[in-house]
């Protein structure tokens, strides 16, 4: 995920030019979130009772972490 964040910040460094590509940057972030949630669900939800209780919070945790890292660039583009 760190590589994605660094790549995102480098790719969309010029905010004026990047704003022309909207909503592609937001869709890119959302695709990564969906992929990570799916991966966590498959790998960590192996029928264990305590993981079933935690899985609903998985998406929220991933979204919060990722959007905190790319928020400044995204908000500036919009």
* Residue 48: per-residue pLDDT: 67
The distance of Cα 62 from the centroid of its chain, to the nearest Å, equals 6
Q: From the CA atom positions of the chain, what is the Rg in Å?
A: 15
Query: Which burial class, exposed, middle or buried, applies to 69 when counting CB atoms under 10 A from its CB (0-12, 13-18, 19+)?
Result: middle
Query: pLDDT tens digit string along 8-62?
Result: 888 888 888 888 888 888 999 999 999 999 888 777 655 667 777 777 788 999 9
Non-local (6+) Cβ contacts of 67 within 8 A are: 29, 74
Question: Hey, what are 21's tokens?
Answer: 């590509």
Decide if pLDDT at 73 tops 90: no
* Residue 47: per-residue pLDDT: 64
């Amino acid at each position: 995920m760190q590589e994605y964040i660094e790549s995102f910040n480098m790719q969309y460094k010029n905010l004026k030019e990047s704003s022309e590509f909207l909503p592609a940057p937001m869709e890119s972030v959302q695709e990564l979130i969906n992929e990570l949630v799916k991966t966590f669900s498959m790998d960590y939800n192996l029928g264990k009772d305590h993981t079933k209780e935690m899985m609903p919070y998985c998406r929220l945790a991933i979204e919060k972490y990722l959007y905190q890292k790319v928020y400044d660039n995204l908000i500036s583009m919009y």
